[in-house]
C-alpha cells in the first residue's frame, strides 16, 4: 500500500473506534495523559506504545493514524492495508474467505467461483446463526428471526490484494440483545462458526470424523447445512483455479473492538482455519449423514432453469446429452444439478435456455454429488406452462 492510499484510508478512521480496537486487544490506556491524544501501552511489550489522536481536524491526524496502524500491523504480523480496513470496521466481526494458492494471488477468479464463495459464506453464517438459536443436525429452513436480522445487517467488503478474499462485515450489535445476554448474538454466531470449522478440520486430520458426527449433540455448531456451505466454498471442479491452487480455502475472523465484550481467546474460538481441498469429500460425507434421508435418492417433480448445454450431435443429426440445471428446493434455496436428456427433451432444454431463465419441469431421482447433484433417468421433461392448472 502506497503512502497516498494509506492517507486516504486513515482519513476515514474514527478516533474512538481505533482506541476501542486497541483496548479490545489488550492495549492499556494511560489515564494520566490529558493531551489531545490517547496513550496506550501493550501489556506484554511495555516499550510498544500507541499515540491515538483525538481530533480529526488536527493537521497531523492522518500521519498519526498511519503510525498507529503501522505499529499494530507490526505487532499482529499483518499487512498495513488489512489493519487499516479493520480499523475502519472496528464495530464488526469481519469474516474473510480466502482462496489459498500461488495463482489466487493475482486477485481474480471465475465468476462461478466468486458466486460460490459469496453464497457459501452466506449459507455458513445462516447455518451457524440457526445453530446458535436452535442446535440441530439439520435445519430444514435457514430462516429464523435473529438469523435473518443478522444477515440483513451484514455487508460485503471489497476484495483484498494478495489473494482472492471475500470479506463479510458482521455488525456486532446488529441484533437487539435479550435480557441479561452478555455476549451479542453476532459474536455468538462467529464463534460458533469458527469453532465448528476448526473441529471439523481437526476431526478429519485426526481420523475421528465419524465419531465427531455421531456426537453431534455435543457439538451444537455442527450441522449438515454448515458442511454443505463449506463444500460450496471450494472452487468448482471446472474452474482451472481448483487445479492450480489446490483449492485450499482459509476462513479467518477479525473480532470487533468492544471493551465490554472483548475478544474470544484462542481456546474459545480460533481466528483462522484452513480447509484443504481433499477434505471436501469427508465434509460432504458428514453432510449426507447429518441430513435426514440424504442417503436416499428423492424421486419427485422438480422445477428449475437450464444454465448450460453440453450435448453433442449424434449420427442421426440430432443433439442430446448432458445439461446443467439450477433447481428450486423446498427450503427456498437452489441447487446445481446435471441431467442427461434424449433428443426430444434436449430440444426443450435448448428452447428454454434461449428464452433466458425460462422454467422447465422434470420428474426424476435426484442424487446429491460432491459439487452439485446428478439426476437419474429423466422420466418427464417439459417447459413450465405460463399458467399452471389449480392444485
The CATH number that applies at residue 379 is 2.40.50
**Is residue 180 assigned to a domain?**
yes
Give tens-digit pLDDT for 191-239: 999 999 999 999 999 999 999 999 999 999 999 999 999 998 886 554 4
Largest CA distance in the chain: 90
Question: Which of 88, 118, 133 is the last residue before a domain boundary?
Answer: 88
pLDDT of 387 strictly over 60: no
Q: How confident is the model at residue 293 (pLDDT cuts 50, 70, 90)?
A: low
Regarding whether 337 and 217 lie in a shared domain, the answer is no
Regarding whether 286 and 307 lie in a shared domain, the answer is no
Q: Are 239 and 111 in contact (CB under 8 A)?
A: no
Regarding whether 240 and 141 lie in a shared domain, the answer is yes
pLDDT of 70 strictly over 90: yes
Q: How confident is the model at residue 33 (pLDDT cuts 50, 70, 90)?
A: confident
> Nearest-CA neighbor of 10 among 53, 39, 50?
53
**Whole-number pLDDT of residue 389:** 43
Between 2 and 221, the higher pLDDT residue = 221
Give tens-digit pLDDT for 305-356: 999 999 999 888 899 999 999 998 876 778 888 899 999 999 999 999 998 8
Between 391 and 109, the higher pLDDT residue = 109
Regarding whether 208 and 84 lie in a shared domain, the answer is no
**Is residue 212 assigned to a domain?**
yes
- C-alpha cell read off for 313: 450431435
**Whole-number pLDDT of residue 105:** 58
Give tens-digit pLDDT for 143-171: 778 899 998 989 887 666 657 888 899 98
**Whole-number pLDDT of residue 42:** 92
Cα–Cα distance measured from residue 116 to residue 121, given in angstroms and rounded to the nearest whole number: 8
Instruction: Specify burial of residue 227 (Cβ count, 10 A radius: 0-12, 13-18, 19+).
Output: buried
| H/E run at residue 313 | strand 312-313
**Whole-number pLDDT of residue 1:** 66
> Nearest-CA neighbor of 275 among 217, 355, 212, 193?
193
Compute the mean pLDDT over every residue in the chain, rounded to the nearest whole number.
85
Q: How far apart are the first and last CA of the chain?
A: 61
Backbone angles phi, psi at 245, to 5 degrees: -95, -10
Regarding whether 75 and 112 lie in a shared domain, the answer is no
How many domains are there within the chain? 3
**Is residue 215 assigned to a domain?**
yes
Determine the average pLDDT of the residues in 357-368. 87
Report the length, in residues, of the chain. 391
**Is residue 389 assigned to a domain?**
no
Pairing of strands 37-41, 155-157: unpaired
Instruction: Specify burial of residue 18 (Cβ count, 10 A radius: 0-12, 13-18, 19+).
Output: buried
> Nearest-CA neighbor of 250 among 131, 150, 167?
167
Grid look-up 490517547 returns: 38
Cα Rg of the chain (Å, integer): 25
Grid look-up 500507541 returns: 50
Q: How confident is the model at residue 90 (pLDDT cuts 50, 70, 90)?
A: confident
Give tens-digit pLDDT for 14-24: 888 888 888 87
Cα–Cα distance measured from residue 121 to residue 226, given in angstroms and rounded to the nearest whole number: 10
Walk across the sheet containing 37-41 and list its strands: 28-29, 37-41, 49-53
Cα–Cα distance measured from residue 217 to residue 223, given in angstroms and rounded to the nearest whole number: 10
Of 31-40, 169-178, 382-391, give the lowest mean pLDDT range: 382-391
Determine the average pLDDT of the residues in 49-58. 92
Q: Which residues pair with 138 in a beta bridge?
A: none
Amino acid at each position: 500500500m502506497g503512502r497516498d492510499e494509506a492517507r486516504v484510508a486513515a482519513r476515514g478512521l474514527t478516533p474512538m473506534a481505533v482506541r476501542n480496537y486497541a483496548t479490545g486487544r489488550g492495549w492499556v490506556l494511560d489515564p494520566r495523559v490529558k493531551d489531545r491524544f490517547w496513550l496506550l501501552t501493550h501489556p506484554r511489550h511495555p516499550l510498544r506504545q500507541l499515540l491515538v489522536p483525538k481530533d480529526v481536524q488536527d493537521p497531523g491526524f492522518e500521519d498519526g493514524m498511519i503510525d498507529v496502524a503501522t505499529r499494530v500491523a507490526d505487532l499482529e504480523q499483518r499487512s498495513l492495508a488489512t489493519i487499516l480496513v479493520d480499523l475502519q470496521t472496528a464495530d464488526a466481526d469481519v469474516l474473510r474467505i480466502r482462496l489459498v494458492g500461488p495463482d489466487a494471488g493475482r486477485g481474480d477468479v471465475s465468476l462461478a467461483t466468486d458466486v460460490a464463495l459469496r453464497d457459501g459464506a452466506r449459507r455458513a453464517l445462516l447455518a451457524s446463526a440457526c445453530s446458535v438459536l436452535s442446535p440441530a443436525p439439520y435445519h430444514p429452513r435457514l430462516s429464523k428471526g435473529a438469523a435473518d436480522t443478522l444477515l440483513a445487517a451484514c455487508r460485503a467488503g471489497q476484495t483484498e490484494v494478495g489473494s482472492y478474499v471475500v470479506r463479510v462485515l458482521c455488525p456486532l450489535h446488529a441484533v437487539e440483545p435479550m435480557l441479561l445476554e452478555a455476549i451479542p448474538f453476532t459474536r455468538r454466531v462467529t464463534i460458533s462458526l469458527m469453532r465448528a470449522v476448526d473441529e471439523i478440520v481437526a476431526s478429519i486430520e485426526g481420523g475421528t470424523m465419524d465419531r465427531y458426527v455421531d456426537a453431534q449433540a455435543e457439538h451444537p455448531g455442527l450441522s449438515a447445512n454448515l458442511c454443505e456451505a463449506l463444500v460450496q466454498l471450494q472452487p468448482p471442479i471446472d474452474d482451472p483455479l481448483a487445479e492450480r491452487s489446490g483449492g485450499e480455502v482459509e476462513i479467518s475472523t477479525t473480532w470487533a473492538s468492544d471493551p465490554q465484550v472483548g475478544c474470544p481467546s484462542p481456546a474459545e474460538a480460533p481466528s483462522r482455519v484452513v480447509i484443504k481441498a481433499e477434505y471436501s469429500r469427508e465434509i460432504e460425507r458428514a453432510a449426507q449423514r447429518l441430513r435426514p434421508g440424504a442417503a436416499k435418492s428423492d424421486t419427485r417433480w422438480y422445477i428449475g432453469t437450464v444454465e448450460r448445454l453440453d450435448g453433442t450431435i449424434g449420427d442421426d443429426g440430432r443433439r442430446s446429452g448432458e445439461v446443467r440445471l439450477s433447481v428450486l428446493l423446498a427450503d427456498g434455496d437452489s441447487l446445481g444439478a446435471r441431467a442427461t436428456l434424449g433428443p426430444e427433451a434436449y430440444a426443450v432444454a435448448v428452447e428454454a435456455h434461449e428464452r433466458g431463465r425460462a422454467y422447465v419441469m422434470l420428474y426424476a431421482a435426484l442424487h446429491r454429488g460432491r459439487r452439485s447433484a446428478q439426476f437419474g433417468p429423466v422420466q418427464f421433461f417439459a417447459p413450465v406452462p405460463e399458467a399452471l392448472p389449480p392444485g
